[in-house]
Amino acid sequence: VNTERAIRHAIQERLPIVVVLNKVDRLITELKLPPTDAYFKLRHTLEAINDLISTFSTTAGGIKPVDPAAGNVCFASACDGWSFTLQSFAKLYVKLHGIPFDHLKLASRLWGDIYYHPDTRSFKRKPPESGGERSFVQFILEPLYKIYSQVIGEHKKSVEATLGELGVTLSNAAYRLNVRPLLRLACSSVFGSATGFTDMLVQHIPSAKDAAIKKIEHIYTGPQDSLVVETMKDCDPSGPLMVNVVKLYPKSDCSVFDAFGRVYSGTIQTGQTLRVLGEGYSPDDEEDMTVKEVTKLWVYQARYRIPISKAPAGSWVLIEGVDASIMKTATLCPLHMDEDVYIFRPLHFNTLSVVKTATEPLNPSELPKMVEGLRKISKSYPLAITKVEESGEHTILGTGEMYLDSIMKDLRELYSEVEVKVADPVVTFCETVQDSSSLKCFAETPNKKNKITMLAEPLEKGLAEDIENGVVSIDWPKRKLGDFFQTKYDWDLLAARSIWAFGPDKQGPNILLDDTLPTEVDKNLLNAVKDSIVQGFQWGAREGPLCDEPIRNVKFKILDATIAAEPLHRGGGQIIPTARRVAYSAFLMATPRLMEPVYYVEVLTPADCLSAIYTVISRRRGHVTADIPKPGTPAYIVKAFLPVIESFGFETDLRYHTQGQAFCLSVFDHWNIVPGDPLDKSIVLRPLEPAPVQHLAREFMVKTRRRKGMSDDVSANKFFDEAMMVELAQQAAELHQLM
C-alpha cells in the first residue's frame, strides 16, 4: 500500500521517481533464494512498480519507467551498509581490471535477458551452448552471494582471497570481529556505503534550478506571466524573496514552532521583516496576513541544526520567528512588492481525515490550556483538523485510530500537559442523492420579491473524483471546461458551458448549473445575483440537511428564477439563505442517502490463517476483493474493503484470531452509500441493540444529529416554503386517488 501511495503522490506532484530496493541481504540470509531466483524476485518487484507508474501516470504523463540499466534503480542493504547501481558496479570492474573501457556500456548489459559468452568475450541475448547465467546473476549476484556465504561461514582464508580479488584488504583485527560487523565492514569496503545511492540522486533528480519551472507552474496560484514568477523560475537569488513554508517543527519545549520552507527566489536573512501569507490569503482578501521578523535560520539535517545567517534561492531552510500565524503552510514575501503576490497552493494529500473524536479536559478549569494544545496539534500534524462543533465540543479529525492515538499522546504529554478525556471515535459521513428530484423545488426570498427553482440529481460516475484530484478545474476558460464535460461525460453543449461553480469549495465534488432559458429568465438579472446563489449553494454543500455533513456527488440545476429588478430587493441577505434552502429542498426530494468512508485494507498473512481473516472481515461488513500469494515468500496478501466505522479494534481482533501472525495496513479509499433510507420514520431504533443492516443509515443519521445537539428528525417546514408544502400535499392526494 505504501509504495502505491508514494508513487501516486509523486506523480500527482509531478516529481521524478527513483527506486531503492533495500534489504536485498534478506534474499540471501533469510529466504535463502538461489541467485537466479533472487534475480526473478527483484525483476518482479520492479515490474510491479512500473505497472503502478503506468497506471497512475495517465493523468500527468511523462514519467519515465524505472530500469536498472537507466540508472534510476539502486540495490541496497542499509543494515549491512552497502548500496550500488549497475553503473557503480561496472565502475568497480573497470577499477579492478585496470582496462580503460566505458563502464556505462557494460552497465547497460548487466540487466535483462543478456548472457556473457566467454569464448567470444561478448554479450548476447542467447545463452552460451555450454549453459550460463544472465549477466546480472553472473557479474553481480554471484560475487555478492560469495562474500555473504564466506563471511557467514567464518572461513577466514577464503574471505581474504575473495576480498583480495575485489581489491580490498582488511586488518587482522577486523577478522576477529563478530559475523555481523565483519559483514558490514567487508561489504561497505567493496561496494561503498552510499556511493551508488548518491550517484543515482545526482544523475536523476534535477537540481533546484532545473526543476524550478515545472515546480512553479504546478504550485504557484498566481498568473504565470508576472515578474515574480520569472525570478522564481530562474531561481534568482537577487530577485524578490519568495519562500514556501510546508512544515512546522516544534522546539524542544514545544512552546513555539520553527517553520521549514523552500526559498524559490531572493535571499532570506536573519533580522529581515517579512509578510507571512496564510492559506486563506488572496490579493482581494488580505485578512490572513501578518508581519514578522526572522530571528534565526538553520540548515536542518536529520537531528542536526546548522546555524546560518542567510540562505539563497534553491535552499531548504528552517526559520525561527514567523510561526505564530501559520496553521499548515504559508508563503513568505517582502513587505513591499510592485505587483500582487499570490500564495503557493496548500499541500494535497491522497488520503482524507475521516475519523473523529471529541475531547474535553478532566478538570474544566484547564480548558484554555487544552484549546492552546489543540492549536499546536493542528500545526504539528499536516492532516489533523481541530474544530469546535456547534454543540460546543472540541473535535479532532485524523486518518485513523493510530493517527488519533499519536495525536492524543502528544496533546497530553507535549502540547497541553493536562489530563484529557476522549469520546469514542466516530467517522465523518457525506450526504448524497440517488435519483433526480421528484418535483421542481422552489423557494421565495423573505421579502417575496425573488423566487428560485432548482432540481438535484446524482453526478456521473467518476466525476466527483476527477474534480477532487484536480483533473478538471473551475478556473479553466469556459470553452476548455465545456469541451472536457462534452467529451468525457457526454454533456450537451449548453449544460457544459453553463457550469457556475463546484462546491463546497473550488475542488468540491458537487456542481451548480444554470439550466435556465434566456427566453424565460432575464439573464442579466440572474447574473447580478450569481455570486449570492453560488455562496448559498456552497454553504448548503458544506453542511447538508440530513445531519450537517458535507454533500457529495450531486448536480444542482437552476431551472427558473424570478429576480427583483431593484438592487435593494436582491441583496445577499435575501438571496444566499434562499439559495441554500432551495438546494436543500431539491436534495430532500431526490431520494437522499448517507455515504460512509471505506478503507482499503491489505493483510499480510500465512496461508493457514486465511479463513480466520475472511471471518473477521465479513463480520465487520467488509468484503475481500483478492487473496494472492506473495511471490518468493510463504505469505499471502489479502486485499479487502472495510467501512471505517467498523474498523475500530479491527487490528486487535485480527491479531487475536490469527495468534498474532497477520499484519494489516489500511488507508482511506472511497465513499460508499450506507444501506437503508435515513428518512424512514417507521424504523424503531432500540437502545444498546445493534441495528440490522437495512436500518444502518437511519441509525447513523439519528446518532449523528443527537451528537450535534439537533432534533432526531429532519423537519420539512425548515426547508420547504408553504407553497411547496401545499404542492406536495396536492401531489400526494392525486397519487392516493390514482391508487
- Over the stretch 180-213, which tens digit does the pLDDT of each residue have? 888 888 888 888 778 888 888 998 898 888 888 8
| Statement: residue 625 has pLDDT above 60 | yes
- Our CA dihedral for 77, 81, 87, 88, rounded to 10 degrees, sits at -160
Buried b (16+ CB within 10 A) or exposed e, 592-619: bbbbbbbbbbbbebeeebbebbbebbee
Q: How far is CA 310 from the centre of its chain?
A: 33
Give the mean pLDDT of 175-179: 83
pTM summary value: 0.82
CA distances from 303 to 252, 320, 323, 431, 550 (A): 12, 17, 20, 45, 41
pLDDT for 706: 85
Show Cβ contacts of residue 248 under 8 Å, excluding neighbours closer than 6 positions. Answer: 257, 258, 259, 260, 323, 326, 379, 380
Give the mean pLDDT of 386-408: 88
Q: Which fold has domain 208-334?
A: Elongation Factor Tu (Ef-tu); domain 3 (2.40.30)
Q: Which long-range contacts (CB under 8 A, 24 or more apart) does 390-394 make?
A: 390/548, 390/708, 390/709, 391/707, 391/708, 391/709, 393/358, 393/360, 393/423, 394/358, 394/359, 394/360, 394/370
The CATH code of the domain at 594-676 is 3.30.70.240
pLDDT for 484: 87
Q: CB–CB of 311/263 below 8 Å?
A: yes
Show the cell assigned to 704: 449523528
pLDDT for 61: 56
Same CATH topology for 355-417 and 594-676: the answer is yes
What is the pLDDT confidence band of residue 556, given thresholds at 50, 70 and 90? very high
What is the pLDDT confidence band of residue 59, given thresholds at 50, 70 and 90? low
Q: CB–CB of 427/597 below 8 Å?
A: yes
User: Are β-strands 510-514 and 554-562 bridged in parallel, bridged antiparallel, or unpaired?
Assistant: parallel
Q: CB–CB of 348/339 below 8 Å?
A: no
CA atoms within 13 A on the CB side of 269: 8
Show the cell assigned to 22: 533495500
pLDDT for 258: 92
| Statement: residue 62 has pLDDT above 70 | no
pLDDT for 330: 93
What is the pLDDT confidence band of residue 276, given thresholds at 50, 70 and 90? very high
Show Cβ contacts of residue 326 under 8 Å, excluding neighbours closer than 6 positions. Answer: 245, 248, 257, 259, 276, 278, 379
Q: How many helices (H) and strands (E) does the chain have?
A: 26, 30
Q: What is the pLDDT of residues 298-330, one digit of tens each?
A: 999 888 899 999 999 999 999 999 988 888 999
CA distances from 224 to 40, 74, 215, 247 (A): 47, 37, 12, 25
| Statement: residue 3 has pLDDT above 90 | no
Q: Where are the domains of the chain?
A: 2-202, 208-334, 355-417, 432-580, 594-676
Order of strands, sheet of 19-21, starting from the edge strand that comes earlier in the sequence: 19-21, 73-77, 82-84
Show the cell assigned to 100: 580503460
Number of other residues whose CB lies within 10 A of the CB of residue 462? 10
Angle between helices 367-380 and 401-410 (to 10 degrees): 130
pLDDT for 313: 92
Among 28-42, 390-404, 702-716, 724-738, where is mean pLDDT lowest?
724-738
Residue 290, SS3 per DSSP:
strand
Show Cβ contacts of residue 498 under 8 Å, excluding neighbours closer than 6 positions. Answer: 513, 514, 515
User: Are β-strands 592-606 and 554-562 bridged in parallel, bridged antiparallel, or unpaired?
Assistant: unpaired
pLDDT for 58: 65
Q: What is the pLDDT of residues 355-385, one digit of tens each?
A: 999 998 989 898 999 999 999 999 999 999 9
Q: Please, which residues bridge with residue 83 across strands?
A: 76
Q: CB–CB of 649/355 below 8 Å?
A: no
Query: How is 153-197 classified by DSSP, letter by letter?
Result: TT-HHHHHHHHHHTT----HHHHTS-HHHHHHHHHHHHH-SSHHH
CATH superfamily of 2-202: Yeast translation eEF2 (G' domain) (3.90.1430.10)
For residues 514 and 614, give the distance between their C-alpha atoms in angstroms, rounded to a whole number.
49
Q: Which has more pLDDT, 130 or 598? A: 598
| Statement: residue 450 has pLDDT above 80 | yes
Q: What is the pLDDT of residues 472-528, one digit of tens each?
A: 888 888 888 888 888 888 888 888 888 888 888 888 899 998 888 888 878 888 888
Q: Which fold has domain 355-417?
A: Alpha-Beta Plaits (3.30.70)
**Cis peptide bond upstream of 597, omega within 30:** no
CA atoms within 13 A on the CB side of 290: 13
For residues 160 and 168, give the distance between their C-alpha atoms in angstroms, rounded to a whole number.
9
pLDDT for 161: 83
Give the mean pLDDT of 84-96: 86
| Statement: residue 601 has pLDDT above 90 | yes
The CATH code of the domain at 432-580 is 3.30.230.10
Show the cell assigned to 229: 514568477
Q: Please, which residues bridge with residue 355 across strands?
A: 398, 427
Give the mean pLDDT of 42-54: 90
CA distances from 370 to 345, 364, 376, 507, 654 (A): 30, 10, 10, 32, 34
